[in-house]
Amino acid sequence: MSEKEMSRLITSPLEKIRQTKLVAIIRSHSLKGLENTVGSLYRGGIRAVEITMNTPGALAGIERMKEKYPELLMGAGTVLDSETARLAILSGADFILTPTSKKETIETANRYNVPIIPGVMTPTEALTAYEYGAQMVKIFPIRSLGPKYLSDLKGPLPFVETMAVGGISLENAADYLQAGASALGIGSSLVDEKLVMSGDYAEIERRAACFAAIAQTFD
């Protein structure tokens, strides 16, 4: 194992997200589909995966994937309240993502020392989430705003780290990283439900490798 790989094993979850710059977003209809998808993502170079809480059996899925891929960061997404955040953390979630910003949810994650990345859209929301204790915020849905919005936001709020989510693709991923995003949350352009349903995990692996190659150019 190289020195760089060793260093990444001992970093915090948030630092690992900063380093790898990619979080794959998964919604799956079965545990088997989830396992196959995560395996394909891992082989393609993805090292952080978010299982949305509106996935059937999401908590069991987090536990299972943590057992099978202990070196992979497993997060819980679409977390809407503090109790769901607590259950996800107790199930082994390494990080929490939310579509909105709630003080109580951020406080719960911080109490357990688990990174939380709440969803925001405006400068006011971004600053408020930061003041609540979030170290990184999720600009969502970024497709409505574009890469320039991130660089504009960095002007008055250079201390707020951002993850761009919602509409990230192979065609625009580099643009968002160039604009200042610390990380990207990637959904259907990486884990297309049609690919999962048809069992085309090789294509998911190929897409993962393409995204990983883009992220590596920003190391």
Domains with residue ranges and CATH for the chain: 3-216 (3.20.20.70)
Question: Catalytic one among 16, 50, 102, 205?
Answer: 50
Supply the DSSP string of the chain, one letter for each residue: --HHHHHHHTS-HHHHHHHH-EEEEE--SSHHHHHHHHHHHHHHT--EEEEETTSTTHHHHHHHHHHH-TTSEEEEES--SHHHHHHHHHTT-SEEE-SS--HHHHHHHHHTT--EE-EE-SHHHHHHHHHHT-SEEEETTGGGT-HHHHHHHHTT-TT-EEEEESS--TTTHHHHHHTT-SEEEE-TTTS-HHHHHHT-HHHHHHHHHHHHHHHHTT-
pLDDT of res. 3: 40
pLDDT of res. 29: 76
Question: Catalytic one among 21, 102, 138, 161?
Answer: 138
Q: Is 203 one of the annotated active-site residues of the chain?
A: no
- pLDDT tens, per residue, the chain with 219 residues: 454 455 445 589 999 999 999 999 998 778 888 999 999 999 999 999 999 999 989 999 999 999 999 999 999 999 999 999 999 999 999 999 999 999 999 999 999 999 999 999 999 999 999 999 999 999 999 999 999 999 999 999 999 999 999 999 999 999 999 999 999 999 999 999 999 999 999 999 999 999 999 999 998
Q: Is 15 one of the annotated active-site residues of the chain?
A: no
